[in-house]
């Protein structure tokens, strides 16, 4: 994939300016219909969710007191993993989006919620709600595109470091919460600044994040295992907490990869976005820059309804329990304006996203031009690109792309 | 928090104070460990799941019964949480209740004196387009959790006054009935006249549109029949609208009495003018603060920075405040990230996306203010924002 405006066929070429504005009007109407209708049953939904999650977490932690006994370890770890997933996805993510602010309940409010995660609510609300949701999929503005450590678009320049990105991505999946915390702090950028020149704001946020991580680690790796100590279960309980955190991390990483990374999701060029982007234009960017996961109700719940990523990106502040209900209307709108409603089952979307991570870890055109026969010479070329300077890389890159074009043209003919 | 916070004495201050100090020190340690075990939740969040009315939690109550009074009024009986500090008859309580999923706060008079079972009650009259009062009268169900603040209000019986006059209109009777019920309990055997009420000489002038619409009509008549009070009931449909200026005709010894009045502002203003003219003392209680009708634009007062900004009805508060030099919290500037949310204490704002009006009325909406997104809301009349 490449930024939409550089593609041979722009998927929005058939839309007139009036169409785009009309899309905005129709989507606003869908949004308003939910706002007019939300009420007691929605409030009951999120309260029940919070109640179930807390009971599941406490119950699982109680079972883990006996984690020296293997069946208790298994049951407790599964329960705790599910509880942590619900807490992060269906509750935390959505509450911090302000989806439940309309209830005016100070306990379930975007301004007061803190989640079971290494990143602070404050940091996450900035990098996610503000930066990512406003500048969705704009290369260079939306850091969610590869989280600053991966290349997920042809238009990002290839450097040798990217060869290791499938490995980074796997490690990032396991420790995703710490990756997100580092990402919220823009750690890469800030650590490259000399210590004395770092901003007070960064130092304050870094302190808050470290405090949060310390509290989280104390809970999962000290206090709760210590409570199991009288039953001989310190290490098993610690292992259970670690496992639950990794399960939660891998799961949320997978779900989040499905939202914007699968092949076919559009990215946008910074200079192609007008300064005064209209509501309609913003909506169209969200429509083409997101992908859904199809599946059962349980799947939607466990993904925090991010399986309805398209609906979520159009209406990030509507209650998550309503996305399934408006999805058919949104899909009908895509059909009406002949736009692609990107939806597939979880394994397919995860596979597609990983395929892209691997493909883009290599220079553009490398996969197209590589055959079993020319593998040795291709590997030599790659080695040269990885060890040579920028000049060598540019020259080799140009050759690769030329070859790839020729192969594609030959196939087409 | 009160009872738990009393346990939050540091370990050092607990030393050398005997068993109580030791318990406090241990309690504080236990609590710290428990907090560490449930972070990022607070211990209260966890305890709330199991025991929302416990001591130490935020003050709440549970509705135990709803007794209809008239066709549009009902008494809501509430079991308050363990930290309820009690009340004096005549005081009111602020209640937070969820209507259609949205939390609303209102103040209502407590209509029973302190009861043996510890329950409290409010009596609510459903006012037209008052969706909280309508919900309480027709939609409240036993078992519902409500949020409470401690009882408050100065409109209570003066212990030293013997001769009293109550002037009430409509639901203005509610604080008065609380006082009367406390003085003269109503039982199966009828109204009792215990010694604490015996030396009082009370006249109640009660005004209502009609007799069937009059809350506590039967109670007032029973109190009158038992000789506890002298009731002057005035019904608009029967006697015509009462001219407050003629109150002396109904209460000849007006000058000897202390007047307590509760009702709509029109009546209270007229009574105030009358009493001032005659040099008489008046104590009033008024529930509904005057509500500003939402309009187009207005002055926004930023209370913490003590700045007033004049904003038209089409400019987001965030933009205008920044233009006036205020450092505002902000985010996406399109209403999606909630980075600009601030509490509004008073006034109305209009959502520029769909025209929806959000109003904050002190005493009626959340005591901490109603949170509004400043990037997509313009003032709809004067409003006050905490920033």
Residue-wise pLDDT for B38-66, tens only, equals 999 999 999 999 999 999 889 999 999 99
Residue located via tokens 């003590």: B306
Task: List Cα–Cα distances, B39 to A100, A110, B44, B116, B138, in angstroms.
Answer: 22, 17, 11, 40, 40
Across all residues in chain A, what is the average pLDDT?
95
* Maximum Cα interatomic distance, chain A, rounded to a whole number of Å: 74
Q: What is the mean pLDDT of residues B165-172?
A: 93
Tokens of A313: 């990106």
Tokens of B137: 């009268």
Residue-wise pLDDT for B32-41, tens only, equals 999 999 999 9
Residue whose C-alpha is closest to residue B325's, from B305, B343, B341, B342: B305
* Contact in structure between B353 and B376 (CB atoms under 8 Å): yes
Residue-wise pLDDT for A206-264, tens only, equals 999 999 999 999 999 999 999 999 999 999 999 999 999 999 999 999 999 999 999 99
pLDDT (0 to 100) of residue B1: 28
Across all residues in chain B, what is the average pLDDT?
88
pLDDT (0 to 100) of residue A133: 96
Whether residue B336 and residue A224 make contact (CB cut-off 8 A), yes or no, is no
| Interface mutation target, options B31, B40, B48, chain A, most CBs of A under 10 Å | B40
The H or E element that residue A293 is part of is strand A292-294
Q: Where are the domains of chain B?
A: 2-50, 60-148, 163-286, 298-385
B332 close contact with A: CB closer than 8 A: yes
B56 in the Ramachandran plot: left (φ > 0), alpha (ψ -120 to 50) or beta?
left
Task: State the smallest CA–CA distance between residue A125 and chain B in angstroms.
Answer: 7
Q: Can you point out the beta strands (E) in chain B?
A: 60-70, 73-80, 92-99, 102-109, 120-125, 145-148, 163-169, 186-187, 190-191, 201-208, 229-235, 258-262, 282-285, 298-302, 307-311, 341-351, 357-360, 370-373, 377-385
Residue whose C-alpha is closest to residue B91's, from B68, B76, B107, B78: B107
Whether residue B338 and residue A219 make contact (CB cut-off 8 A), yes or no, is no
Residue-wise pLDDT for B183-198, tens only, equals 898 777 778 888 877 7
Whether residue A134 and residue B337 make contact (CB cut-off 8 A), yes or no, is yes
Contacts of B156-159 with C-beta under 8 Å, sequence gap 24+, read B156/B88, B156/B89, B156/B90, B156/B91, B157/B88, B157/B89, B157/B90, B157/B183, B158/B258
Which residues of B are less than 8 Å from A42 in CB distance?
Answer: 101
Residue-wise pLDDT for A384-406, tens only, equals 999 988 999 999 999 999 999 99
B337 close contact with A: CB closer than 8 A: yes
Q: What is the mean pLDDT of residues B157-182?
A: 91
Give the integer Cα–Cα distance in Å for A6 and B70. 72
Give the integer Cα–Cα distance in Å for A366 and A204. 44
Whether residue B39 and residue A58 make contact (CB cut-off 8 A), yes or no, is no
| Interface mutation target, options A80, A93, A94, A104, chain B, most CBs of B under 10 Å | A104
Give the integer Cα–Cα distance in Å for A364 and A3. 14
A338's CB contacts (< 8 A; 6+ apart) are A14
What is the chain B residue with the closest CA to A104?
A: B103
- Helix, strand, coil shares of chain A as percentages rounded to 5? 70, 0, 30
- Peptide linkage before B12 cis (omega within 30 of 0): no
B357 close contact with A: CB closer than 8 A: no
Give the integer Cα–Cα distance in Å for A104 and A312. 21
pLDDT at B10 over 60: no
pLDDT band (50, 70, 90) for residue B8 = very low
Indicate the fold that domain B60-148 takes in CATH: Elongation Factor Tu (Ef-tu); domain 3 (2.40.30)
pLDDT (0 to 100) of residue A53: 98
| Interface mutation target, options B33, B35, B37, B352, chain A, most CBs of A under 10 Å | B37
CATH match of B163-286 with 3.40.50.80: yes
B30 close contact with A: CB closer than 8 A: no
Q: What is the mean pLDDT of residues A153-181?
A: 94
pLDDT at A378 over 50: yes
* Contact in structure between B35 and B43 (CB atoms under 8 Å): yes
Instruction: Using CB atoms within 10 Å of the CB of residue A351, give its burial: 0 to 12 exposed, 13 to 18 middle, 19+ buried.
Output: middle
Task: State the smallest CA–CA distance between residue A217 and chain B in angstroms.
Answer: 10
Q: How many helices (H) and strands (E) does chain B have?
A: 12, 19
Task: State the smallest CA–CA distance between residue B299 and chain A in angstroms.
Answer: 24
Contacts of B297-301 with C-beta under 8 Å, sequence gap 24+, read B297/B378, B297/B379, B297/B380, B297/B381, B298/B347, B298/B379, B298/B380, B298/B381, B298/B382, B298/B383, B299/B379, B299/B382, B300/B347, B300/B379, B300/B382, B300/B383, B300/B384, B300/B385, B301/B382, B301/B383, B301/B384, B301/B385
Taking the CB of residue B202, how many other CB atoms lie within 10 A of it?
24
Residue located via tokens 């003392």: B281
Task: State the smallest CA–CA distance between residue B356 and chain A in angstroms.
Answer: 10
Q: Among 3.10.20.30, 3.90.330.10, 3.20.20.70, 3.90.1640.10, what is the CATH number of B298-385?
A: 3.10.20.30
**What is the torsional sign of CA B319, B321, B323, B325?**
negative
| Interface mutation target, options A45, A61, A98, A181, chain B, most CBs of B under 10 Å | A98
ipTM of the complex model: 0.89
Residue-wise pLDDT for A319-341, tens only, equals 999 999 999 999 999 999 999 99
Q: Considering chain B, what percentage of its residues have pLDDT values greater than 70?
A: 94
Whether residue B371 and residue A126 make contact (CB cut-off 8 A), yes or no, is no
pLDDT at B168 over 50: yes
pTM reported for the whole predicted model? 0.89
- Helix, strand, coil shares of chain B as percentages rounded to 5? 30, 30, 40
Task: State the smallest CA–CA distance between residue B335 and chain A in angstroms.
Answer: 9
| Interface mutation target, options B32, B48, B101, chain A, most CBs of A under 10 Å | B101
Whether residue A104 and residue B103 make contact (CB cut-off 8 A), yes or no, is yes
pLDDT (0 to 100) of residue B293: 67
Task: State the smallest CA–CA distance between residue A42 and chain B in angstroms.
Answer: 7
Residue-wise pLDDT for B72-87, tens only, equals 899 999 999 999 999 9
pLDDT band (50, 70, 90) for residue A1 = low
Q: What is the distance between the terminal CA atoms of chain A, rounded to a whole angstrom?
A: 22
Whether residue A40 and residue B33 make contact (CB cut-off 8 A), yes or no, is no
Whether residue B101 and residue A130 make contact (CB cut-off 8 A), yes or no, is no
Tokens of B175: 């604080």
Taking the CB of residue A47, how many other CB atoms lie within 10 A of it?
17
pLDDT band (50, 70, 90) for residue A140 = confident
Q: What is the mean pLDDT of residues B212-238?
A: 92
Quote the distance between the C-alpha of residue A210 and its chain's center.
Answer: 23
Give the integer Cα–Cα distance in Å for A327 and A320. 11
Pick the more confident residue, A354 or B185: A354
A112 close contact with B: CB closer than 8 A: no
pLDDT at B28 over 80: yes
Whether residue A42 and residue B101 make contact (CB cut-off 8 A), yes or no, is yes
Window from A7-11, B144-148, B369-373 with minimum mean pLDDT: A7-11
Quote the distance between the C-alpha of residue A320 and its chain's center.
Answer: 16
pLDDT band (50, 70, 90) for residue A152 = confident
Task: State the smallest CA–CA distance between residue A135 and chain B in angstroms.
Answer: 9
pLDDT band (50, 70, 90) for residue A148 = confident
Give the integer Cα–Cα distance in Å for A225 and B59. 33
- B36, B39, B46: residue with CB nearest A58: B46
Task: State the smallest CA–CA distance between residue B52 and chain A in angstroms.
Answer: 12
The DSSP 8-state label assigned to residue A118 in this structure reads S
Q: Taking a contact as any Cβ pair under 8 Å apart, which residues of chain A between 363 and 402 contact chain B?
A: none
Pairing of strands B307-311, B298-302: antiparallel
């Amino acid at each position: 994939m490449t930024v939409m405006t550089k593609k041979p066929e722009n998927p929005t070429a058939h839309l007139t300016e009036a169409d785009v504005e009309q899309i905005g009007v129709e989507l606003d109407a869908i949004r308003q219909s939910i706002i007019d209708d939300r009420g007691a049953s929605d409030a009951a939904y999120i309260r029940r969710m919070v109640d179930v999650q807390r009971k599941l977490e406490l119950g699982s932690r109680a079972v883990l007191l006996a984690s020296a006994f293997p069946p208790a370890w298994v049951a407790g770890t599964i329960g705790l993993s599910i509880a942590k997933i619900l807490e992060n996805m269906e509750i935390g993510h959505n509450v911090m989006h302000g989806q439940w602010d309309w209830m005016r309940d100070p306990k379930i409010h975007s301004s007061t919620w803190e989640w079971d995660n290494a990143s602070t609510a404050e940091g996450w609300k900035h990098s996610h709600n503000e930066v990512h949701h406003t500048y969705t999929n704009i290369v260079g503005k939306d850091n969610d595109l590869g989280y600053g450590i991966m290349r997920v678009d042809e238009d990002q320049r290839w450097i040798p470091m990217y060869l290791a990105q499938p490995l980074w991505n796997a490690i990032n999946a396991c420790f995703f919460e710490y990756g997100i915390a580092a990402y919220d702090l823009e750690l890469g950028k800030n650590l490259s600044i000399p210590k004395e020149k770092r901003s007070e704001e960064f130092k304050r946020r870094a302190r808050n994040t470290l405090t949060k991580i310390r509290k989280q680690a104390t809970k999962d790796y000290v206090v709760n295992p210590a409570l199991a100590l009288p039953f001989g279960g310190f290490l098993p309980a610690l292992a259970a907490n670690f496992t639950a955190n990794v399960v939660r991390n891998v799961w949320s990483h997978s779900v989040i990869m499905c939202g914007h990374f699968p092949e076919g999701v559009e990215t946008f060029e910074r200079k192609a976005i007008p300064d005064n982007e209209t509501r309609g234009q913003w909506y169209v960017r969200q429509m083409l820059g997101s992908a859904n996961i199809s599946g059962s109700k349980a799947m939607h719940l466990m993904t925090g309804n991010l399986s309805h990523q398209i609906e979520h990106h159009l209406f990030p502040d509507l209650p998550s329990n309503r996305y399934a209900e408006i999805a058919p209307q949104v899909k009908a709108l895509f059909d009406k304006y002949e736009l692609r409603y990107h939806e597939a089952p979880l394994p397919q979307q995860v596979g597609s996203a990983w395929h892209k991570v691997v493909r883009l870890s290599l220079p553009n055109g490398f996969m197209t031009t590589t055959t079993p026969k020319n593998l040795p010479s291709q590997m030599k070329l790659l080695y040269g690109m990885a060890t040579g300077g920028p000049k060598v890389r540019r020259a080799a890159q140009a050759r690769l792309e030329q070859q790839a074009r020729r192969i594609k043209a030959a196939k087409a003919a | 928090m009160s009872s738990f916070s009393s346990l939050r004495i540091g370990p050092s201050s607990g030393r050398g104070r005997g068993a109580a100090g030791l318990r406090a020190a241990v309690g504080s340690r236990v609590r710290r460990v428990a907090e560490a075990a449930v972070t990022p939740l607070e211990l209260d969040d966890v305890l709330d799941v199991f025991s929302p009315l416990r001591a130490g939690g935020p003050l709440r109550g549970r509705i135990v019964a709803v007794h209809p009074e008239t066709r549009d009024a009902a008494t809501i009986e509430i079991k308050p949480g363990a930290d309820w500090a009690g009340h004096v008859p005549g005081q009111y309580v602020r209640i937070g209740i969820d209507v259609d999923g949205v939390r609303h706060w209102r103040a209502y008079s407590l209509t029973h004196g302190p009861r043996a079972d510890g329950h409290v009650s409010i009596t609510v009259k459903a006012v037209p387009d008052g969706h909280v009062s309508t919900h309480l009268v027709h939609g409240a169900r036993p078992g519902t959790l409500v949020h409470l603040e401690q009882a408050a209000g100065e409109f209570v019986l003066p212990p030293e006054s013997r001769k009293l006059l109550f002037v009430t209109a409509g639901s203005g009777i509610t604080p008065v009935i609380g006082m009367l019920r406390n003085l003269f309990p109503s039982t199966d055997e009828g109204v009792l006249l215990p010694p604490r009420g015996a030396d009082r000489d009370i006249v109640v002038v009660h005004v209502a549109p009609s007799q069937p619409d009059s809350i506590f009509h039967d109670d007032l008549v029973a109190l009158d029949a038992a000789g506890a009070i002298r009731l002057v009931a005035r019904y608009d449909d029967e006697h015509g609208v009462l001219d407050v200026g003629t109150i002396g005709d109904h209460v000849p010894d007006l000058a000897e009495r202390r007047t307590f009045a509760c009702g709509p502002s029109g009546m209270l203003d007229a009574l105030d003018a009358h009493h001032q003219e005659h040099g008489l003392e008046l104590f009033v209680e008024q529930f509904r603060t005057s509500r500003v009708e939402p309009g187009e634009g207005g002055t926004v007062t930023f209370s913490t920075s003590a700045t007033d900004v004049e904003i038209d009805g089409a400019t987001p508060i965030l933009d205008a405040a920044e233009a006036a030099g205020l450092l505002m919290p902000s985010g996406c500037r399109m209403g999606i990230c909630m980075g600009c949310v601030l509490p509004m204490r008073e006034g109305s704002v209009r959502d520029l996306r769909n025209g929806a009006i959000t109003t904050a009325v002190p005493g009626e909406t959340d005591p901490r203010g109603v949170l509004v997104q400043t990037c997509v809301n313009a003032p709809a009349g004067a409003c006050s924002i905490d920033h």
